[in-house]
Homo-oligomer: A and B are copies of this chain.
Amino acid sequence: MHPEPADTRTRILEAAVRVFAEKGYHETRMDDIVSASHTSKGSLYFHFPNKQEIFFGLIETFTGLLEARLKESLAAEQHGSEQVDSALTASLRLFTQYRTLAKIVLVQAVGLGAAFEARRRAINDRFSALIQGRIEKGIQDGSLPAQNAELAARAWVGALNEIVIHWIYTGVPDLETSVPEIKAFLLRSIGAGKENQ
């Protein structure tokens, strides 16, 4: 029995994470992924015309997971401060759970040049827009002071990105135990009342 196409695609992506982690993106050949995923060359090329598309598939997978967790946190009926808490906890746990994938997406990507950079900009814009919407809601309901929500959201994305990339390279700080400190920094930065910190 042949597996469904969706399963093959997932199997290829999972194999690609292992191969990229072991050999690095540049050293990986499509044939390595054929072997590791126990699929056929034809099937691999049917799903992904080239290595870069596999990489983009991994980026989408990770970004999709992250976005789903964030939206879930933002949809919950709770106080702004608790939303930040649950969104941060869920996101940072995701990085810890998928450290290998996160490392490939954030670190190996630097060799991909302009094609990847455009993708990275688009992803940052997506997350920035999500955060901006939430800050604007806080300004409207009076729980946050008037401010440039777009600038603050972009700063959050940059700050979190830098913290996570530093963690990927060095292993510190431990992301999950740092949630309270990161949260305090972020809430202060947008002027969330002291009672929220």
Interface residues, chain A, CB within 8 Å of chain B? 26, 107, 110-114, 116-117, 121, 124, 147-148, 150-152, 154-163, 166, 169, 173, 178, 181-182, 184-186, 188-191
Contacts and interface: CB of A to CB of B under 8 A. Distances in A.
A143 B53 CA distance: 51
Nearest to A117: B110
A147 B184 contact: yes
B155 A185 contact: yes
A8 B130 CA distance: 49
A130 to B, nearest CB: 15
Secondary structure type dominating chain A contacts: helix
Given A113-B110, A147-B184, A185-B155, A162 B161 contact: yes
Contacts of A181: 147-148, 151
A118 to B, nearest CB: 9
Nearest to A166: B154
Contacts of A189: 185-186, 188-189
Contacts of A116: 110
A114 B110 contact: yes
A39 B113 CA distance: 30
A196 to B, nearest CB: 13
Contact of A151 (B113, B154, B163): B163
B151 A185 contact: yes
8 contacts: A107-B117, A111-B113, A111-B114, A154-B162, A155-B182, A158-B158, A188-B189, A189-B189
Given A121-B166, A158-B160, A159-B159, 5 more contacts: A110-B110, A157-B162, A158-B161, A188-B189, A189-B189
Nearest to A180: B148
A162 B156 CA distance: 9
A121 B150 CA distance: 26
A158 B185 CA distance: 13
